[in-house]
Amino acid sequence: MRIGIIGGTGIYGYEGNTVSVDTAYGEVEVVHAVQGDHAVFFVPRHGAGHVLPPHRVNHRANLQALADCHVDRVIGITTVGSLREDITPGMLFVPGDFIDFTVSRPTFFDRGAVHVDMSQPFCPEVREAVLAAARSRQGEVAEGVYACTSGPRLETPAEVALLQQFAHVVGMTLAPEATLARERGLCYASLSLVSNLAAGLQKALPAQEIAAIYDRMRPVVMAVLREVVCSLPEERSCGCRGAAERGQL
């Protein structure tokens, strides 16, 4: 099996051969690692050395590079702020749905009329595997709706009050990554690390405390990823592969 992992802030854990993949959307550095019989292709979402802020991430190039490496499943790691008092920093969160508030609209279908179905926003097979692995590592794992903003700034308290009405966490990177994966026929699910309570729910969390959470959680996230890679069946039995064909008018 070939699986792609897109790593976010604070989560860079794969060692292997770094290859540069030249896609139609730009060049992407991919770390090729081996886990047992499985090939893992790791893309640092923000570019090598974390040079790209959220609004500059080249999501199309990242997904295309993974597709060019012939992966068929992708796990996106993100960090999020919590909108709920009971979802606390250091917890793992597995999104079940998302709302895309980002403002640029990259798609793989710039011409024609392809409208992929997002009524099941994540691949059910990969999402279940992520959830099970997260639970086996951390017991209590939160689930719910991820609101995605453009960033790079954080939210105002009024924005947080609004988002609280329909979402559980807020972050800057899940969209349009999840949609682009669907457009390319790749299975996609996400694992989020809660790094802070969102603006207005507590005094601003000092950067060192957030960094300490990354340090504490990095081994847990890596263990979850290893477990997911081992637990996924070789063949896909979901419908993600044909999403674009089914969305063609």
Which stretches of the chain bind ligand HPA, using CB under 6 A? Answer: 79-81, 149, 154-155, 170-172, 195-196, 198
Nearer to ligand HPA, 171 or 185 (CB): 171
Question: Can you tell me whether residue 132 is helix, strand or coil?
Answer: helix
- Give the Cα separation of 10 and 7 in Å (integer): 8
Closest CA to 4 of 36, 31, 37: 31
Closest contact distance (angstroms) between CB of 103 and ligand HPA is 15
Closest contact distance (angstroms) between CB of 208 and ligand HPA is 15
- Give the Cα separation of 55 and 152 in Å (integer): 6
Nearer to ligand HPA, 85 or 234 (CB): 85
Nearer to ligand HPA, 71 or 147 (CB): 147
- Give the Cα separation of 164 and 157 in Å (integer): 10
Tokens 């499985």 locate to 38
Nearer to ligand HPA, 48 or 201 (CB): 201
Nearer to ligand HPA, 106 or 171 (CB): 171
Those residues with Cβ within 8 angstroms of residue 153's Cβ, 6 or more apart along the chain or in another chain? none
> In this structure, what token pair is assigned to residue 244?
């674009």
Nearest-CB residue for ligand HPA: 81
Pairing assessment for the beta strands 169-171 and 73-82 based on DSSP bridges: antiparallel
Nearer to ligand HPA, 102 or 149 (CB): 149
- Give the Cα separation of 198 and 156 in Å (integer): 9
Closest contact distance (angstroms) between CB of 192 and ligand HPA is 9
- Give the Cα separation of 214 and 10 in Å (integer): 6
Nearer to ligand HPA, 80 or 243 (CB): 80
Q: State CA 44 to chain mean position distance.
A: 11
Closest contact distance (angstroms) between CB of 219 and ligand HPA is 20
Strand partners, 171: 148
Closest contact distance (angstroms) between CB of 104 and ligand HPA is 17
Tokens 């992708």 locate to 74
Closest contact distance (angstroms) between CB of 190 and ligand HPA is 13
Closest contact distance (angstroms) between CB of 230 and ligand HPA is 29
Those residues with Cβ within 8 angstroms of residue 56's Cβ, 6 or more apart along the chain or in another chain? none
